[in-house]
A and B are shown apart, each in its own frame.
Chain A
Amino acid sequence: DQQVKQNSPSLSVQEGRISILNCDYTNSMFDYFLWYKKYPAEGPTFLISISSIKDKNEDGRFTVFLNKSAKHLSLHIVPSQPGDSAVYFCAATVDSGGYQKVTFGTGTKLQVIP
């Protein structure tokens, strides 16, 4: 039962253009959503997050949008840079009685072409 889905395994974008990475979820009880970036041979690093009570959060070139009715979130990167080439994971957390249970998506590999 994959509760967090990233349906696009890969995405190629030209440098300077917008990258849009999508994530869908099925559990309406998720209360916090996060995006992580992963370079080869490294662990994932936190990028940006959003609470379920918000619909947008922005941090520099990165913006996350949350559409609760559609159970969909997206990460926008503007403008895209070659250094953004990595695998991006979305994750969602739910209160499980004293601790936050986290579920990761399968990842989208972004390639930014110079």
Chain B
Amino acid sequence: EAGVAQSPRYKIIEKRQSVAFWCNPISGHATLYWYQQILGQGPKLLIQFQNNGVVDDSQLPKDRFSAERLKGVDSTLKIQPAKLEDSAVYLCASSLGVGGGSTDTQYFGPGTRLTVL
């Protein structure tokens, strides 16, 4: 079974530029998550999709971040414009279920390391 794919793996941009990340979850997984992990901290949930609908985006800085999940499968996360404090690893994860318990075990991609100069 293929895992969660993310691209690019690394990205370096200047502040005020735009950047986009792509995620392909495990086939058949209903829920997709985007996390931001700043060095020395735990993953912070940015947005959670169930199929192609958003169920939680309470921690997404909506003035600069946007995300979509196309046809309930692939997803893109965009930052426009980027700030220095956006430097982090952006993790995508997916889970099979929506109801909690063991079906919500999340499978993570390798992440995209973003550096904003």
**Residues in chain A within 8 A of chain B (CB atoms):** 4, 6, 9, 31-32, 34, 36, 41-46, 49, 51, 89, 93, 95-96, 98-107
Partner of A102 from B45, B107, B109, B110 at Cβ < 8 Å: B45
Asked if A106 and B41 make an inter-chain contact with CB atoms under 8 angstroms apart, the answer reads: yes
B48 in contact (CB, < 8 A): yes
Asked if A99 and B108 make an inter-chain contact with CB atoms under 8 angstroms apart, the answer reads: no
**Residues in chain B within 8 A of chain A (CB atoms):** 4, 31, 33, 35, 40-45, 48, 50, 55-56, 91, 93, 98-102, 104-111
Asked if B91 and A32 make an inter-chain contact with CB atoms under 8 angstroms apart, the answer reads: no
Asked if B105 and A46 make an inter-chain contact with CB atoms under 8 angstroms apart, the answer reads: yes
CA A43 to CA B33, docked complex, whole Å: 13
Asked if B104 and A100 make an inter-chain contact with CB atoms under 8 angstroms apart, the answer reads: yes
Query: For residue A4, which residues in chain B have a CB less than 8 angstroms away from its CB?
Result: 42
Query: For residue B50, which residues in chain A have a CB less than 8 angstroms away from its CB?
Result: 98-99
Q: How far is the CB of B76 from chain A (nearest CB, A)?
A: 18
Q: How far is the CB of B49 from chain A (nearest CB, A)?
A: 10
25 CB-based A-B contacts, threshold 8 Å: A6-B42, A9-B40, A32-B101, A41-B110, A43-B4, A43-B109, A43-B110, A44-B108, A45-B107, A46-B106, A49-B102, A49-B105, A51-B101, A98-B98, A99-B50, A99-B56, A99-B98, A100-B98, A102-B106, A104-B42, A105-B42, A106-B40, A106-B41, A106-B42, A107-B42
Asked if B56 and A96 make an inter-chain contact with CB atoms under 8 angstroms apart, the answer reads: yes
Query: For residue B48, which residues in chain A have a CB less than 8 angstroms away from its CB?
Result: 99, 101
Asked if B42 and A42 make an inter-chain contact with CB atoms under 8 angstroms apart, the answer reads: no
Q: Total A-B residue pairs with C-beta atoms closer than 8 Å? A: 70
Query: For residue A105, which residues in chain B have a CB less than 8 angstroms away from its CB?
Result: 42
CB nearest to A101 among chain B residues: B56
Known contacts A93-B100, A99-B55, A99-B56; is-contact A104 B44 (Cβ 8 Å): yes
CB nearest to A41 among chain B residues: B110
CA A41 to CA B10, docked complex, whole Å: 10
Given contacts A43-B93, A44-B106, A100-B104, 7 further A-B contacts (CB under 8 A): A31-B100, A36-B108, A43-B4, A43-B111, A45-B108, A99-B31, A106-B42
